[in-house]
Structure formats: C-alpha cells, structure tokens
Amino acid sequence: MIWIDTDMGLDDILAVMIIAGHRDISGISLVFGNAPLEQVRKNAAGACSLLGWRTPIHTGAANAILGETITPAHVLGPTGIKTRGARLPECPPVPESPAQAALCTWLESLDAPGEILALGPLTNLAILALSRPDLLTKIAKITWMGGGAGRGNQTASAEFNAFADPEAVQIVVNSRVPLDIVDLELCRQVLIGPDDLLALEASGTEKGLVLADLCGAYVDIALERGREKMAVYDPCAAAALVIPEAFTFAPGFVAVELAGTHTRGRTVLDQRPGVPPNCRWAMHADAPRVLSLTLETLQKAALS
C-alpha cells in the first residue's frame, strides 16, 4: 500500500497515474506548491473527473512551516498547470478532509509499514513527524521528488519543492524515516519533447486531447527557454517505485540550507567516506524506460 502527498500539478498527475496503474493507492494528501492550496484542491477534483480516480483525497498544509508561501505562477499560470488552451474539467475543490488525521488513521491501520511518495513541498510530512513521532516506524520509506545538488530551478541553487519549505525538508530528514531522494539532476536525465506526444495527440479521444494539450504546454516551458525538451519531474519519483531496477541510488548525507541569502532551500549532499548516510540519493535512471512508462501510461489513459 502506498500514500501519495502532492501539490497536484501536471507532472504530479502523471506520477499518480503511473502509480495507479501498478499499486493500490491508500490515500492522497494535498499540499500548496504548484498553486495555492485551494487551486490544488480544484486540480485534484479536475483530475478525478478526467481520469476517474476514486482514491480518497485529503487537504493538507496551505503554507510553509516558517518561510513565505510561494508558487511558480509566473511559469505555470494561476492554476499551476500550464495550458495551450485545454483545461481539466472545472470542478469544485475536493471536499475538505484534514490530511493529518487521515494520514495518522492510515498509518495506525497498517499491519506492515507503508510507503509514501512525496511530490511537493514536505510540509504535511514534517507536521506528521513533529506531531506523531510514534507513527514514524509505520513508514517503510518516503520517496521524494525534490532537492538538487546542481543548478536550481526556483533559484540559482534551489529546487522548487525544497525551496518552498526548507524547514520541512530538514524536519523530515531529521526524523530518520528511510528517505529516497529523486532530485532535479536525476529528473533532467529523463527528457520529453514535442515528438514524444504525437501518439497521444493522434489518440483522438477527448481525454487524450486534454492530456496532450497539457503535456504539450509542459514541454513548452522548455521550448520557451530555448531548450528542445523538458525534464520529467514527478513521474521519475513514481517510476523509481514501479521500476526500481531502472534506477541506481547511492547512500549520502543530506542537509538543507536554511539561512543562506542566495542558497536557502539548497540541498547539500555529502558523500565523503566516513560520513554516515541519512538518505539514498538517485544517481542514474534508465531514461528510455522511464519515458516509455510515462508515455504508455498516458496512452492507456487516453484510450480507456
């Protein structure tokens, strides 16, 4: 069983689709990130309507633990999902249902520890770690798309999910729950371009055309910056759970910069000999396999 914590942008939706095709999802919790929480709740409702999801969805944190609450509206627009014209079905937000209570109930119910896939700022999981440390042994592992040890995408040095709530990242790291990090650099190994979407565009179904439009707009983020292809973010973390043999991880010690004027939110990975690890860091992905999994998932949804 697996729980997904997400800020429900387009790449989050693809990641949920990948997991849904291979695992039972026990619940989904929402967090601010790609858009303000209220919009994230609408995106979740729209995704449920388009894709027929039945998994219970719960509402988590609207704000970071300490810092300013930010969203990438300047890149993705007000909904957090860039579009060429199509939209997810307009729906009222998913019903109010507190994420912390739902996460605790799920963990308490487990006979064997469960896994969590985290696709946004780690605020919900940090709150859980602080409020119910007794439940942390019920988490087998958190797999998180976030952080980066190279060029940032939100600032020069920080990845968005880490920058959006750096204190939450450090709290989750300090909790000592087994943590697999699928960072920005890893995700940049898996690239999607306009040609990869031709089959989806040709699917001819209403669902396929909406997905093709939104994926096309996602690729446009790179094209508008003079690059030919866009990094596939959250689906990489999902793929690490579905096809783990396509990834290599190495142990490392991660800490988060909380104070730097230019480096707040930067994750610093220490892999020097003798430094005790506190996470596993994704080093390499079989990019064609991960991209195929993502495209096959889209195609299947378009034709279902």
Interface stretch with ligand RIB, choices 18-26, 153-161, 251-259, 271-279 (CB under 6 A): 153-161
252 binds ligand RIB (CB under 6 A): no
11 binds ligand RIB (CB under 6 A): yes
Interface stretch with ligand RIB, choices 9-17, 23-31, 82-90, 213-221 (CB under 6 A): 9-17
In angstroms, the CA 289 to CA 190 distance is 9
Q: Which DSSP category does 153 fall into?
A: S
- Which of the listed partners (ligand RIB, Ca ion, none) does 71 bind, with a CB threshold of 5 to 8 Å by partner kind? none
213 binds Ca ion (CB under 5 A): no
User: How distant, in Å, are the alpha carbons of 30, 99, 103 from that of 39?
Assistant: 10, 16, 21
In angstroms, the CA 29 to CA 124 distance is 8
- Which of the listed partners (ligand RIB, Ca ion, none) does 160 bind, with a CB threshold of 5 to 8 Å by partner kind? ligand RIB
Interface stretch with ligand RIB, choices 17-25, 134-142, 156-164, 209-217 (CB under 6 A): 156-164
29 binds ligand RIB (CB under 6 A): no
| Of 7 and 185, CB closest to Ca ion | 7
Residues in the chain: 304
Residues β-bridged to residue 284: 248
Cβ(112)–Cβ(26) below 8 Å:
no
Query: Strand runs (DSSP E) across the chain, as ranges?
Result: 2-6, 25-30, 57-59, 114-118, 139-145, 179-182, 191-192, 230-231, 247-256, 267-270, 279-285
Cβ(47)–Cβ(13) below 8 Å:
yes
In angstroms, the CA 26 to CA 4 distance is 8
Locate 157 and state its tokens: 């040095």
| Of 107 and 186, CB closest to ligand RIB | 186
List the interface residues with ligand RIB, window 159-218 (CB under 6 A).
159-161
List the interface residues with Ca ion, window 3-22 (CB under 5 A).
7, 12
List the interface residues with Ca ion, window 64-123 (CB under 5 A).
119-120
Residues β-bridged to residue 142: 116, 179
**In the complex, what is the shortest distance from the CB of residue 220 to ligand RIB, in angstroms, rounded to a whole number?**
15
208 binds Ca ion (CB under 5 A): no
33 binds ligand RIB (CB under 6 A): yes
Residue 271: Cβ-neighbour burial (10 angstroms; 0-12, 13-18, 19+): middle
Binding site for ligand RIB (CB under 6 A): 7, 9, 11-12, 33-34, 119-120, 145, 153, 159-161, 233-234
Binding site for Ca ion (CB under 5 A): 7, 12, 119-120, 234
